[in-house]
């Protein structure tokens, strides 16, 4: 249908990543750019990011059209700039600059700079895990397109199909019309910014602080050994300086190496933490891959803060 396109993306709701359909419609009338679908403020600001990114990339933005973007389902809250790439591709497909039919089978997520560069997003691993669940339910295998920094994180999921891109034009080159004269310049040079990201090899078991460094504390060390062997929880109570934190830091060394599912769950939660949204978020996830985390909350942290009230944990 002329002037209409559909692009698939993913939201982020805790550790879940529900599907979001980005519908773009171009119509005659007073020029406008309307975004609907229970979008937070940072999502609505995508209108200006998408407009500038398309124009600064040398592409045509339909300024003379009435643009309506719907993020479905309408009752699902959407936040962050993860929908920028999907909205931009929807506008380009609806205006006939790329082949909208070739977008089927792909899921797009990424924040755009005003120059068209792709920036990392939170929850890349959660999105990849959600697509793996769809594949396990006998659904068609979907390909995930992310900024290159986030793609390396998402590729930790085995058997996933992850593509990374550096710029909006890298994605446009892949989905432009093969026989279009306007896309000839885009296809003339190799698309170095677009590549499939392969999962990293599993790193050797990390080295944790050794329990043998602790002098004394025989009863506490014996209790931790029993808890590690039986998979029990441990509550340590004592005066400041009695060695609780020291023993807790060495408890991970008594446990067996994390299996793949445990490592994925841990990495997914790490990707939602305080490092999310920064340029080093995915790098931090990769550095901590397969390691059992130890967190030391401040002694003034309240019980609601410990269970998710917004307290920042420090490793």
Residues 104 and 55 in one domain: yes
- Classify residue 201: in a domain, yes or no: no
Distance from C-alpha of 249 to C-alpha of 200, rounded to nearest angstrom: 27
Q: Sign of torsion, CA 222 228 232 236?
A: positive
User: Cβ(165)–Cβ(191) under 8 Å?
Assistant: no
CA 211 centroid distance within chain = 36
pLDDT at 273: 62
Q: Is 312 left (phi over 0), alpha (psi -120 to 50) or beta?
A: beta
- Classify residue 260: in a domain, yes or no: yes
* φ, ψ (nearest 5 deg) of residue 252: -60, -30
User: Cβ(83)–Cβ(40) under 8 Å?
Assistant: no
Distance from C-alpha of 35 to C-alpha of 45, rounded to nearest angstrom: 9
- Classify residue 311: in a domain, yes or no: no
Tell me the average pLDDT across 193-213. 80
Residues 145 and 255 in one domain: no
Please give the mean pLDDT across all residues of the chain: 84
- Classify residue 279: in a domain, yes or no: yes
- Classify residue 204: in a domain, yes or no: no
Residues 57 and 168 in one domain: yes
Tell me the average pLDDT across 114-129. 91
Distance from C-alpha of 169 to C-alpha of 213, rounded to nearest angstrom: 55
Query: Which of residues 196, 222, 248 is at a domain's end?
Result: 196
pLDDT at residue 127 tops 80: yes
Tell me the average pLDDT across 208-236. 89
Residues 56 and 119 in one domain: yes
- Classify residue 205: in a domain, yes or no: no
pLDDT at 181: 47
DSSP string, 247-286: HHHHHGGGSPPP-HHHHHHHHHHHTTSTTTTSTTHHHHHH
Residues 152 and 233 in one domain: no
Query: Which of residues 173, 196, 219 is at a domain's end?
Result: 196
pLDDT at residue 86 tops 80: yes
| Full domain range(s) for residue 9 | 4-196
pLDDT at residue 208 tops 50: yes
Distance from C-alpha of 61 to C-alpha of 4, rounded to nearest angstrom: 15
Residues 160 and 226 in one domain: no
Residues 219 and 188 in one domain: no
Residues 45 and 145 in one domain: yes
Domains: count for the chain: 2
Residues 137 and 242 in one domain: no
User: 5 vs 50, 90, 132, 156, 248, CA distance in Å?
Assistant: 16, 6, 25, 31, 54
Band (152; pLDDT cuts 50, 70, 90): confident
| CATH number of 129's domain | 3.30.230.10
Distance from C-alpha of 56 to C-alpha of 59, rounded to nearest angstrom: 7
pLDDT at residue 179 tops 50: yes
- Classify residue 206: in a domain, yes or no: no
- Classify residue 315: in a domain, yes or no: no
Could you read off the pLDDT of 235-293 as tens digits, one per residue? 888 888 888 888 988 888 888 888 878 878 887 777 776 444 444 556 667 667 777 87
User: Cβ(64)–Cβ(33) under 8 Å?
Assistant: no
Tell me the average pLDDT across 204-225. 85
Could you read off the pLDDT of 34-64 as tens digits, one per residue? 999 999 998 999 999 999 999 999 999 999 9
Residues 80 and 221 in one domain: no
Residues 263 and 162 in one domain: no
Burial 112-147 (b: 16+ CB within 10 A, else e): bbeebbbbbbbbbbbbbbbbbeeeeeeeeebebbbb
Distance from C-alpha of 30 to C-alpha of 100, rounded to nearest angstrom: 25
Cα dihedral 211/213/214/219 (nearest 10): 40
pLDDT at 314: 39
**Alpha helix positions (H), the chain:** 41-44, 46-56, 84-94, 124-136, 148-154, 168-175, 184-188, 218-230, 244-251, 260-270, 281-287, 303-306
Residues 189 and 240 in one domain: no
- The counts of H helices and E strands in the chain are 12, 10
Query: Which of residues 150, 167, 196 is at a domain's end?
Result: 196
């Amino acid at each position: 249908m002329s002037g209409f396109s559909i692009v698939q993306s993913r939201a982020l709701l805790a550790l879940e990543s529900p599907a979001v359909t980005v519908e773009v419609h171009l119509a005659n009338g007073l020029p406008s750019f309307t975004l609907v679908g229970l979008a937070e403020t940072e999502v609505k600001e995508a209108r200006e990011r998408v407009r500038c990114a398309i124009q600064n990339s040398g592409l045509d933005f339909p300024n003379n059209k009435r643009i309506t973007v719907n993020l479905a389902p309408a009752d699902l809250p959407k936040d962050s700039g993860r929908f920028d790439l999907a909205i931009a591709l929807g506008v380009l497909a609806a205006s006939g600059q790329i082949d909208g039919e070739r977008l089927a089978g792909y899921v797009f997520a990424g924040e755009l700079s005003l120059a068209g560069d792709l920036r990392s997003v939170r929850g890349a691993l959660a999105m990849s895990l959600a697509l793996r669940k769809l594949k396990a339910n006998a659904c068609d295998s979907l390909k995930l397109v992310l900024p290159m920094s986030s793609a390396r994180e998402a590729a930790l999921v085995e058997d996933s199909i992850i593509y990374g891109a550096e710029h909006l034009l890298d994605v446009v080159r892949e989905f432009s019309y093969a026989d279009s004269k306007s896309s000839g310049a885009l296809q003339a040079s190799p698309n170095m910014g677009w590549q499939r990201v392969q999962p990293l090899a599993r790193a050797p078991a990390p080295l944790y602080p050794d329990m043998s460094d602790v002098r004394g504390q025989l009863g506490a060390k014996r209790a931790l050994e029993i808890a590690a062997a039986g998979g029990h929880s441990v509550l340590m109570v004592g005066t400041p300086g009695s060695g609780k934190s020291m023993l807790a830091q060495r408890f991970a060394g008594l446990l067996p190496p994390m299996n793949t599912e445990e490592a994925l769950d841990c990495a997914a939660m790490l990707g939602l933490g305080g490092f999310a949204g920064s340029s080093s978020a995915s790098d931090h996830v990769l550095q901590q891959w397969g390691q059992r985390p130890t967190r030391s909350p401040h002694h003034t942290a309240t019980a609601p803060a410990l269970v998710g009230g917004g307290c920042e944990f420090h490793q």
